[in-house]
Amino acid sequence: MMNDGNIKIIAVVGMSGSGKSVVVDYLTEKGFPKVYFGGMIYKEMKRRGIEITADGESEKRFREMIRETEGKDWVVKQVIEEAKNLINAGQKRIVLDGLYSWTEYKILKKEFPGQLTVLAVVVPKALRHFRVGKRPERPFNTKEIQERDRSEVENLEKGGPIAMADYYVLNDESVAKLHDDVDVILDRIEF
């Protein structure tokens, strides 16, 4: 679609509790607008009058249902439309928050050739599970995070975009170290 080499889009991917939001928040603080994959789900749930539960269960069920009924590309089509609106408004740098599936990855690569960089945030599983259990919003117990992991890999194909990411950042130390590592990657891709 858009072949302007000056446009840079970074899609952040990672398992639940990896630190995707920390990376995205850092980039938005630097002035880059974000397009939130999950926001498309919440927006559609609201439009349909579906309650968003605090435990995240209604969002999970709806996310899987919409991909089943509307196609695995439904969310990414909404993301692309919003990203194009930002580009048409003059944005040259955009962050996509929460790339989920292999289908979405392939579509984004085709839609934004030469403009899309995928950044995977990774962390040792035990540390990630610990963080998810202690987070203030939607903490999960061990069984819940294991089920979430299984669902993200089996139902949402999340392993593909992580495996094919252009860059990886290991988030097993401080937030300051994570920010420094992201800055190194941004310099490499001239973001």
Between these two residues, 11 and 57, which has the higher pLDDT value?
11
Say yes or no to pLDDT of 155 above 90: no
pLDDT at 1: 42
Task: Place 191 in a pLDDT band, splitting at 50, 70 and 90.
Answer: low
Q: What is the average pLDDT across 83-92? A: 96
pLDDT at 60: 81
Please name each of the domains of the chain with its CATH number. 8-189 (3.40.50.300)
pLDDT at 2: 47
pLDDT at 3: 55
The answer to whether the beta carbons of residues 6 and 92 sit under 8 Å apart is yes
Task: Place 183 in a pLDDT band, splitting at 50, 70 and 90.
Answer: very high
Q: What is the average pLDDT across 132-145? A: 88
